[in-house]
Amino acid sequence: MKTGQTRQDSEGIYFARELELLKPQAYQRAYPEMKFATAIPTSADKDPGAQTITYEMYDLVGIAKIISNYADDLPRADIRGRQFSVQVQTLATSAGWNYGELQAGIKTGKPINSRKLDAAQQVLMRLVDKLAFLGDTETGLVGLTTIPNMPNTVVATVSGATTWAAKLALGTDAGKQAVLDDLNIAFTRMQTATKGIEVPDTLALSPTSYAQISQTPRTAQSDTTLLDFFLKAHPGVEVIVIPWLETSGTGATRQMLLYRRDPMKLELEIPEDLVIHNQQERGLEWVVPLSMRFGGVVCRFPLSLDSSYGM
């Protein structure tokens, strides 16, 4: 026998592979749930060939006044319009497999092509989710957290504490009230700025911020959490948890958004939904391109949103 070789010829000896338990189910790493379709109204307008998306905004101008009988110097009322445009971008990825992988999939009953195609779709939709919330400065795409002219205010500092974690760590009812104030101030700020025209119906929080206010009692003697108390005061508001808000605020801080989820106010523009193109044969490989057309978030009324950061 050569050096380094071994023999296993006694009874009761099994190869390691024969003793291996292979789980019948394939597992995939878990990723955060995509929230763009829930958090942002999506436009129903479709045009795969569109290079830009343009919308018009009109405002009223002029005055009216009390006049005397038979007066002919009547004031004039009119409308004034402006056009706004956003560029449409193409998002793409691809799935591919070779002859050997395809044959192995057929042999094992686990088609590699469908699994890779599913992975490519997930990758592309995760990019959509990221851009829908964070936008992209290089291409000018706007996300929900980067809407121009949206009010953006750092939360107040109380007893040296700015973040919600620091305020709650004070261990006092005053610290808890400071967190509740951050929620209520944002609500009041929007209604004050718009003279009551805009009434928010959605509160978007990071997972950490949501956990803090949904698990903390309002006072030491209360069985009502901070979130319960806020929602009781504002019964029309729905809470959405968005992972991107963990670091989307100014200075990579946590961000909170209070807004009106109304397609008249803002929309996510997707002129063309996901397209799976015909597979392309390249030698002993097959490649399938996937693409979408994406225009980002269009917000017609920036004051229908309010952003707070630093939690």
pLDDT score for 147:
92
pLDDT at 70: 67
Encoded amino acid at 297, one letter: V
- pLDDT per residue, tens digit, the chain (311 aa), is 454 444 444 445 445 555 454 445 544 555 567 889 999 999 888 888 888 877 665 555 566 767 677 676 777 766 665 666 788 999 999 988 777 777 776 676 666 667 788 888 899 999 999 999 999 999 999 999 999 989 999 999 988 989 999 999 998 888 999 999 999 999 999 999 888 888 999 999 999 999 999 999 988 788 899 999 999 999 999 999 999 999 999 999 999 999 999 999 999 999 999 988 888 888 888 888 899 999 999 988 889 999 999 99
Amino acid 86: pLDDT: 81
Q: What is the pLDDT of residues 88-116, one digit of tens each?
A: 999 999 988 777 777 776 676 666 667 78
In a 10 Å sphere around its CB, with 0-12 CB exposed, 13-18 middle and 19+ buried, how is residue 227 labelled?
buried
Whole-angstrom CA distances from 311 to 48, 80, 174, 241 are: 40, 40, 16, 14
Give dist(CA 84, CA 75) in Å, integer: 30
Q: pTM for this structure?
A: 0.80
Length of the chain: 311
User: In terms of Cα–Cα distance, which of 64, 59, 58 is closest to 77?
Assistant: 64
CATH numeric code, 150-261+303-309:
3.30.2320.10
The pLDDT of residue 23: 47
Farthest CA pair distance, the chain: 123
